[in-house]
A and B are shown apart, each in its own frame.
Chain A
């Protein structure tokens, strides 16, 4: 059965490698936005997390949270990571160059939440059309209401 990893241990190890900012809880590891690229590379190459399960975003009143789930198929391990970014000019390094599976999912998050992924090879809207204004899945999205003749 798929197990998870010990986040506190991983937080300590990453802190030794890269610096401060890693917070571990029982079910996820929070990564500071400036260390995302280095930590992701370490996790992929050293810990052998080769399968990018998903990335999704959550909209809180004061921040955006990006939730990553990565799997190591050879060791049968599933781990959850979080990155917190601000609501003004949200920007996070893209992981599409490490895991190809991140490419379309990051485009979807850019489309629906407006979070920029720097370094993404092809960041444009994917489920909505190019001229769409606004980011619908934000809680403060006020688009046109089409239920009535409008």
Chain B
């Protein structure tokens, strides 16, 4: 019908304007959140029991959001299956809604067409939230880094906490990355910027 054509044309032009705007705005990678490494601040702050308790709770119950793009997803699925169980770390509760999840596991190649949706998903997540970039395509675009349609790394779009190399990384590597993230969360403090 004609009205469908007009409406869909408007939707698509808005979508492509959004994609072009995002592409223009993501020319440089977002710096990794490394406020926890700042030695200056660390010397002046002591870790309180409140920090210890909160960090323990947050690292023991990290809930991923089900938003995966490409092939690294299957390694994530393998890691959540019987042999390499991520449920041991309390992570088997994959919440489909971003508002209840804390962890965005960027598994797979990101294209410019999908990028505004991942940004929207990240924005909808409630603080505190963390991002793991899993696989070569998530770190830097992988073998598709020069492509016309691939974002060269998720850190153009969202700030990434842990990078897991591999193409795809084996489930044990993913578990090592999750363990690294847990160590990072342990060292956070509610009074320090992330």
Contact = CB atoms under 8 A, between A and B. Distances in A.
A147 B145 contact: yes
Interface stretch (A22-30, A92-100, A127-135): A127-135
B146 interface: yes
Contact of B20 (A129, A146, A149): A129
Interface stretch (B11-19, B85-93, B117-125): B11-19
A146 B113 contact: no
A129 B146 contact: no
Contacts of B150: 146
A147 B141 contact: yes
A144 B148 contact: yes
A1 interface: no
B113 A128 contact: yes
Nearest to A134: B148
Nearest to A145: B146
Contacts of B113: 127-129
Given A147-B141, A149-B28, A150-B27, A131 B148 contact: no
Contacts of A146: 141, 145-147, 150-152
Contact residues on A (Cβ < 8 Å of other chain), bracket: 10 to 19
Nearest to A131: B16
Contacts of B97: none
B84 interface: no
Interface in B12-64: 12-13, 15-17, 19-20, 27-28
Contact of A147 (B15, B19, B27, B146): B146
Contacts of A130: 12-13, 15-16
Interface in A16-49: none
A136 interface: yes
A132 B151 CA distance: 15
B112 interface: yes
A132 B141 CA distance: 20
B83 to A, nearest CB: 36
Contacts of A147: 140-141, 145-146, 152
B16 A141 contact: no
B136 to A, nearest CB: 12
Contact of B16 (A127, A129, A134, A144): A129
Contacts of B19: 129, 131
Interface string B122-154: 000000000000000000110001111111100
Interface in B141-175: 141, 145-152
Nearest to B152: A146
B16 A143 contact: no
B18 to A, nearest CB: 9
A149 B27 contact: yes
A147 B145 CA distance: 5
Interface string A38-71: 0000000000000000000000000000000000
A136 to B, nearest CB: 5
Contacts of A141: 148
Shortest 6 CB-CB distances between A and B: which pairs? A129-B16, A130-B16, A147-B145, A143-B148, A131-B16, A147-B146
Given A122-B5, A149-B28, 7 more contacts: A129-B112, A132-B16, A134-B148, A136-B148, A147-B141, A147-B145, A150-B27
